[in-house]
Amino acid sequence: MAKTIKAPRGTKLTCKNWRTEAIYRMLHNNLENAERPDDLIVYGGTGKAARNWECFDAIKRSLKNLEEDETLLIQSGKPVGIFRTFENSPRVLICNSNLVGNWSNWEHFNSLEAKGLMMYGQMTAGSWCYIGTQGIIQGTYETFAALATRHFKGSLKGKFCLSGGMGGMSGAQPLSIKMAGGVALIVEVDPKRIRRRLDAGFCDYMTHDYKEALDMARESAKEKKAVSIGLVGNCADILPDMLRKGIIPDVVTDQTSAHDELNGYVPAGYWGSALKDCDSLRESDPKGYKKRSAESMKAHCKAIVGMQKKGAIAFDYGNNLRGQAQKAGLADAFAYPGFVLAYVRPLFCEGRGPFRWIAQTGDPEDILATDKAILKMFPKNKLLMNWIELAEEYLPWEGLPARVCWLGYGERDRFAKHMNSMVRKGDIGPISITRDHLDSGSVASPYRETEGMMDGTDAVADWPMLNALLNCASGADMVAMHNGGGVGIGLSQHSGMIVVCDGTKDTDRRIERVFRSDPGTGVMRHADAGYPLAKKTAREKGVKIPMMK
């Protein structure tokens, strides 16, 4: 029987206070926006909100009864303990998919998961911070806007951008490219995913016809018309064919679930109605399936490298396609850079990253009121001004109404405190504030956020662990520590957090600490690695770094 999970709305409390209530609602909101809610899978192939339905129900009961000085512990989607702490301590602490180094691989994880002892939390899935496609769209827009500034004089107007995937995270690509002025052709194996993006307004057109999609993309680029097109197909078939025919896009990337050879990536030859055969193969011959996936990822990546050699701007969008292709024998899989290395790192050096907030009452007017407030607070930030206008024009509400934008060190705490004062005055209902795990100081991922660090510390995981510990000490309402994310088990460590604006003075004090500490760890981390911009930011903003020269 299908399950319908919907986040509570309004001002009536299910839990004993708003700090816990907001976390309770965000857990439900994850599944309201999920790709496969019946399986508790939120996005990214197997990224879950809870280990199983028994655990989900136990988490709900625990949150409903949690006292103001208690902390609930979640181990890979299972509630395992409630302890007396302090009123300003986190209400929930989460650890997902974390394995000791030598055992941190898919084989050991899959064995434990099969026994019901673990789950894959992805990033915001297992920390209950997912807000639908709207959560990643501004970061995707920021990336394509930075690419446009670097390569095309500030606009993607008239540029043909090719990518793969329209799942929970990748579904932001078509609208982000369109908002940046470009033509987006996104290849997706599952027509249901494209249809979902069409219905939500994230994509303009859907077709099963390869030639029609190419003709539409090239004609729109010629006319300099911003359009997004979803093609039902398989990247491992389409991209190599395009390369053979000399059809080279201006920009090529990918956001398929390439971190997972078995449950994420779909091998060449399968898409649309053939997906049922793919499911049968996965169950009957998992080893054979994984072998086909590996060969397909190799062909997929090889085509991107080939397009790059023919003049396309190519970048990896954090799904480990390059790593999987290299493992499958493609020597030059890393010929093109990751997106952080290519476009985002200067923002991280300033402590800038994805700040997001959610209206807990479910009233969109609360978000529109905060839009006005943020525009009034930061009138000189032209990129922010432009983004809020675009968001109000293009973005649909998904689940609990939410907004996301990129704010830097010294901006997050100011705006968060202002929103808490709006709650206190009764101008808006309670607000929860979170961010993507992809942030300035919250992640170690050598194939993504920390690729090519100046001092070679790409794989040092101390930094996100310090970030999580400091957020606990600073009074965040939820803190999470995960292994894996979009690149897979053993390839990253990252942390997430939530702070709930309930209008109280105590929350003002928590905000002052958390939203200085959280982005401040990013400034610290990049300054320690030797980046001059991070050192400059630390000096100007008063981030104390004992041994900085």
Residues in the chain: 549
3-state secondary structure 69-94: CEEEEEECCEEEEEEECCCCCCCEEE
What is the edge-to-edge ordering of all strands in the sheet holding 313-314? 205-207, 227-232, 183-188, 160-164, 251-252, 313-314
Place of tokens 């309670």: 430
Shortest CA distance to 525 belongs to which of 436, 442, 407?
442
Measured distance CA(284)–CA(292) in Å, rounded: 14
Pairing assessment for the beta strands 92-96 and 478-483 based on DSSP bridges: parallel
Q: How far is CA 361 from CA 7, 391, 477, in A?
A: 10, 20, 18
Measured distance CA(416)–CA(500) in Å, rounded: 10
DSSP state of 41: E
Cβ–Cβ < 8 Å for 504, 322: no
CA atoms within 13 A on the CB side of 263: 14
DSSP state of 397: P
Catalytic, 129? Answer no
The catalytic position among 203, 349, 405, 472 is 405
Shortest CA distance to 256 belongs to which of 175, 341, 171?
171
For residue 47, the cross-strand partners are 43
Q: How far is CA 243 from CA 239, 311, 509, in A?
A: 6, 12, 56
Two tokens at 510? 């928590």
Cβ–Cβ < 8 Å for 418, 373: yes
Measured distance CA(483)–CA(493) in Å, rounded: 5
Q: How far is CA 64 from CA 13, 39, 67, 192, in A?
A: 9, 23, 9, 35
The contacts of residue 425 (CB under 8 Å, 6+ apart) are 503
* H or E stretch covering 160: strand 160-164
Q: How many CB atoms lie within 10 A of CB 456?
A: 9
Measured distance CA(440)–CA(520) in Å, rounded: 8
Shortest CA distance to 243 belongs to which of 183, 305, 298, 291?
305
Place of tokens 């903003």: 541
DSSP state of 316: B
For residues 29-43, one letter each, b for 16 or more C-beta atoms within 10 angstroms of the residue's C-beta and e for the rest, the string is bbbbbbbebeebbbb
The contacts of residue 29 (CB under 8 Å, 6+ apart) are 7, 128, 130, 131, 358, 399, 400
Three-class SS state of 403: strand
Catalytic residues: 405
